[in-house]
Structure 1
Amino acid sequence: MIAKQGCTEVNSFSKHWPHLFPQHGPGKKHNRLIKLEAWQREIVEAHPGRFVRGLMHSDGYRGTNRVRRHFNGSDHWYEYPRYLFVNESQDILELCEEALDLLDVAWRRSEPNTVSVARREAVERLDEFVGPKY
C-alpha cells in the first residue's frame, strides 16, 4: 500500500473481534440485525456528532442539489447544499436518524434507503460535525 502523508494504517487480527463488535459477521449487513450494545449506545449518545461523521464519511455524501423549475415560460434554476446517507440496512439508517435527532438536525427519508438533510439550518448544523472527506 502507498503511504499517504498524515495517515497511518493499522491492522489487527483476533478471534475476539466478534465479541467487541457483534454487528460484524458473515453475509450482507442489510440481511442481519445491526444493533448497538449498551456500551456502544452510551458512546454514541455521548458523541453523536462523531458517530454521524463516521457514517457520512463511509456511506454519505455532501453536495449541491440543482433543481430546475419551469414557470412564466422559462426554466429557472436554484441550488442548495445537502447531505445524503445511503444504506441498504434499515437498522443502520435508523441509527443514523437517531444520532441526527440527538444533534437536533432535521432529516427525512428521500428514498427508502436514503436519509436526506437539506434544510439550510440542518446542513449548517451538520457541517459543524462532519467536515470534508479525505
Structure 2
Amino acid sequence: MRYDLDTRNRALTLLRDGVSNAEVSRRLGIPSGTVAWWLHRDRARNGGLPGAHRSTCHTCHGDPLDRTAYGYLLGLYLGDGHIFQSGKHRVPNLTIACCEDWPGLIDAAEDAVRRVFPHNSPCRVRRVGCTYVKVYSKHLDCHFPQHGPGKKHTRHIQLAPWQREIVDEHPWELIRGLVHSDGCRITNWTTRRGKRYEYPRYFFTNVSDDIRRIYTDALDRVGIAWKETRRGSTPYNISVARRESVQVMDVHVGPKF
C-alpha cells in the first residue's frame, strides 16, 4: 500500500522525537515493517546509520586538511601513485605503490593517508615485490586534480593554487615524498691519484617534465643545488651531489628505510 507524503512525514516526526516503531505503527495504523523502513531510509540520508559517514573533503565540505601530511602524500602520488576505479567498486581508490624493501616507507605512506583521509580506512595489498597502500574515497579528484586518463607523463601536470600554497608552506614534505617514491640516496665513488673516494648523492628519476619541474622548483625554494642528467638526449634524472646540499637533504629526507 502507498502512503502519502504527509503520513510519512508525521511518522518520521514521531520517530525523531523518540517514539518507538511499534507505537508509531499503532498510532498511525501503518505496518511496523513500513515504519522501520522509513526510519532506515531517513537515517541513511542523514548519516545516522551505525558506521555511516561522509568522506572528508576540504573542497566540497570545507573540512580541515592536514597540510603537512598532504604535502608528503602529494609527492608519493606524483611519483608512484594512481587513482583507479574498477568495475566491482563504485568508489575510486588511491593506490601508492611501495617497494617491500622499505617497510618504513610503507608505514609512512599509510600514516599520511590516514591523516589526509581521517574518516576513511586505508588498507595494504601485497603484490610481488611491493605493497599497495590504498584508500577509497569519492573525493580523490578533489584532493588530486592532476588525475586524468592515461599515464601522468602523457598529460600536463600542474599544481592547483591551493596545492602551491601547501608546497610553499611545506616544501620539504613534497621533496621527501617525491624522493621516497621515485628517488634514492646512493653512494658514488671515483678515483683520484690511485685513491678511491666515495660520496653520497641523491637522484630523482621521472619521465614527466612537469613532475621533474615541480621537484626542482621545490629544491630551488629551499636552496638545494641540483643538476639535470640525461639518458641519451632525453632529460631523465635530477641529481643533488654538492656536499652542502646533500647534508641538508640528509637532515630533511635521508635514505629510505
TM-score, reference length from structure 1 = 0.84
Q: Secondary structure at the match of 2:225?
A: coil
Please name the residue that 2:160 is paired with: 37
Please name the residue that 1:122 is paired with: 245
Aligned residue pairs, count: 127
Letter of the aligned partner of 1:91 in structure 2?
A: D
Unmatched 5+ stretches in structure 1? none
Q: How far apart, in 1, do the equivalents of 2:218 and 2:182 lie?
A: 15
Q: How far apart, in 2, do the equivalents of 1:63 and 1:85 lie?
A: 11
Q: Secondary structure at the match of 1:126?
A: helix
User: In the TM superposition, what is the alpha-carbon distance from 1:28 to its structure 2 partner?
Assistant: 1.1
Q: How far apart, in 2, do the equivalents of 1:118 and 1:103 lie?
A: 15
Letter of the aligned partner of 2:241 in structure 1?
A: A
Considering Cα pairs closer than 8 Å and 6+ residues apart, tell me whether 1 or 2 has the greater RCO.
Answer: 1
- After the TM superposition, which of the residue ranges 19-28 and 106-115 deviates more from structure 2? 19-28
1:58-109 per-position Cα deviation (integer Å, ceiling 9, x unaligned): 000101011245x6xxx44322100000000000000000000111010010
Unmatched 5+ stretches in structure 2? 1-102, 111-120, 123-133
Q: Does 1:99 align with 2:218?
A: yes
Please name the residue that 2:229 is paired with: 110
Q: Does 1:48 align with 2:171?
A: yes
Q: How far apart, in 2, do the equivalents of 1:54 and 1:98 lie?
A: 14
User: In the TM superposition, what is the alpha-carbon distance from 1:26 to its structure 2 partner?
Assistant: 2.2
1:27-46 per-position Cα deviation (integer Å, ceiling 9, x unaligned): 11111111100000000011
Letter of the aligned partner of 2:172 in structure 1?
A: G
What is the RMSD computed on CA atoms of the aligned residues?
Answer: 2.1
Point out the structure with the larger helix share: 2
Please name the residue that 2:84 is paired with: none
TM-score, reference length from structure 2 = 0.46
1:3-33 per-position Cα deviation (integer Å, ceiling 9, x unaligned): x799357143234312321112221111111
Q: How far apart, in 1, do the equivalents of 2:151 and 2:191 lie?
A: 37
* TM superposition outliers: structure 1 runs of 4+ over 6 Å: none
Letter of the aligned partner of 2:247 in structure 1?
A: E
- After the TM superposition, which of the residue ranges 85-94 and 123-132 deviates more from structure 2? 123-132
Letter of the aligned partner of 2:229 in structure 1?
A: S
